[in-house]
Structure 1
Amino acid sequence: MSEGQSKRRVGIVGYGHLGQYLVRRLQDNGLQHGLELAFVWNRDANKLKGTVPVELQLGKLTDFLERRVDIIIEVAHPCIAQAHGESFLKAADFMVGSPTALADLETELKLREAARQSGHTLYIPSGALWGGQDIQRMDDGGMLQALTVTMVKHPNSFRLGGHLGELAQGAQQKRTVLYDGPVRRLCPLAPNNVNTMAAACMAAPSLGFDGVKGCLIADPDLPDYHVVETEATGPGGFSVRTRRKNPAACGAVTGAATFTAFWSSLLVCQGHGGRVYLC
């Protein structure tokens, strides 16, 4: 960063594995990219002690305005975007690390409108979604007719309750389809596991959460990586299929490559105006 160039101040909401990674990157080499850590908030504030300087700890999330941030990154839980996203966007750009929150139609419309009125950007990180901007271009051109996202993980890599959780637990011996249908219905059932699908829905607003199909599969033969497959189809028999293998520790919800993908997304979050932007 050149001398005199202003820094973009970043607030991190959530201090799990991904939040910790982003905080370290910002502390280690954020300044060379024009980024400065402004605050870190976590529901359990004790988790910040000894690792985050006291002056960077935000006690109450509603006090974020005092830190005068340029962009807020949520890597905590979908409820954060639903409860605070509108307030965030009135004051700063906002990256939704849990885009399953937007499967709630009221939340999606509210945040789209907040971005439009404020001139701030609602950023959707690509995460483990490969080819998201290509999907977006197809959609913008009216060429996207169907989109399916399939996610395959070891049963222990899911954080599921209810019927889906029971299915996952019963999949220790054989590959099992946990869900196959519209992404909107799946997001509230698996809010921590299908953010990639939610990002695809935001990349394809003509289909949206009701039109994009999601398939969730538990496979005991995938102990050290996750698989994300996408299939986009268009007119005249056009189709594109991708398959992404993401290394992941056994039982990890988030694959290793997704961490660096988030950092790369953050680096492009500037100057996109009052709209939704896949980054």
Structure 2
Amino acid sequence: MIKLRIGIVGFGHLGQYLYSLLESHPQFEIAFVWNRSKNVLIDRHVAPSLILDKLENIFELEVDLIVEVAHPSITKKYGQLFLEHGAYFIGSPTALADQETYDLLQKATNTQNRAVYVPSGALWGGEDIRRMALQGSLKGLTITMAKHPSSFKLTDSEGDITAITEPKVVYEGSVRQLCPLAPNNVNTMAAAAVAASNLGFDMVYGRIIADPSLLDWHVIEVEVTGPSQSDGRTFTTKTIRKNPADPGAVTGTATFGSFFSSLLNAARRHGYHPETGFILC
């Protein structure tokens, strides 16, 4: 069996989770691991032969699929470079809200004949959204995410939301504007904007709510609007997902398993038949 060579970029909780699963998986071989702080890799006993000192040195390695689980800035700086050497699995798709980054990666997927795989994360019904978008029947998409205030890592906000005592809407508007405000929190919304290709980041609507009563859960609500009939009736569907999570946790516990399932799906698709473009998995 030919093993798929995987590169891991980032070694936080999710990166460590993936490493522990991949190092003993019969279908994969770890090509490299990179982290901004090398000491973390040493402390976690990552084999020295797997540690990549600089991402610019990726050209020295053979790699089939590069998995980013670090920060959206990695895609902006290195996304094109990654696509020169393998398919790219982008764990921080909020980076794609930057139009320049999106356009450059889209061009690179065509030039290099490779794919950018986007994990569905906590998005429920992503494949249905994608199909509606391709058919042109998707007319509206709103995603509401409610978490404990300490779980939001915002780049800018009015006042200290950690001190609130009742639910507060922190933001509502386009997902494009929301992604740079909460880049670590709304990857699910970014994945939805990719799936909703006929609407995109500007026309997918996002709302985040800081709720101090949510001590055990992240709650994600997805509302889809389809076409209206001549008699005024409109297709709508709404799903609500409660993801177990502790206060202060950016990612719910169920999302880790979902992320790995998306990675397996991307690996299977890549090994079966190379694809191009942005692909929700």
Query: Matches of 2:94 and 2:7 in 1, distance apart?
Result: 20
Q: Which residue pairs with 1:12 in the alignment? A: 8
Query: Matches of 1:85 and 1:203 in 2, distance apart?
Result: 20
Per-residue displacement from partner, 1:34-86 (whole Å, max 9, x unpaired)?
Answer: 11111110001111013211111111111112221000000100000000001
Aligned residues: 270
Query: Matches of 2:218 and 2:235 in 1, distance apart?
Result: 27
Please tell me whether residue 108 in structure 1 is matched to residue 99 in structure 2: no
Gaps of 5+ in 2: 229-233
Please tell me whether residue 40 in structure 1 is matched to residue 33 in structure 2: yes
Q: CA deviation at 1:168?
A: 2.1
- Give TM-score, length-normalised by structure 2: 0.94
Q: Which residue pairs with 1:187 in the alignment? A: 179
Query: Matches of 2:237 and 2:257 in 1, distance apart?
Result: 25
Residue type matched to 1:259 in 2? F
Gaps of 5+ in 1: none
Q: Which residue pairs with 1:257 in the alignment? A: 254
Q: Residue 90 of structure 1 contacts residue 115 of structure 1 at CA under 8 Å; is this kept in 2?
A: no
Alignment of 1:1-279 (within 5 A): 5-28=1-24, 30-31=25-26, 34-51=27-44, 52-163=46-157, 166-171=159-164, 173-236=165-228, 237-269=234-266, 270=270, 271-279=273-281
* DSSP-derived class of the 2:84 partner: helix
Q: Residue 155 of structure 2 contacts residue 180 of structure 2 at CA under 8 Å; is this kept in 1?
A: no
* DSSP-derived class of the 1:137 partner: helix
Q: CA deviation at 1:272?
A: 4.4
Query: Matches of 1:110 and 1:220 in 2, distance apart?
Result: 40
- Give TM-score, length-normalised by structure 1: 0.94
Q: Which residue pairs with 2:231 in the alignment? A: none
Q: CA deviation at 1:268?
A: 1.4
* DSSP-derived class of the 1:91 partner: coil
Residue type matched to 2:86 in 1? A
RMSD of aligned alpha carbons: 1.1
Per-residue displacement from partner, 1:214-239 (whole Å, max 9, x unpaired)?
Answer: 00000111111101110010112001
> Could you tell which deviates more after superposition, 176-185 or 49-58?
49-58
Query: Matches of 1:147 and 1:69 in 2, distance apart?
Result: 36
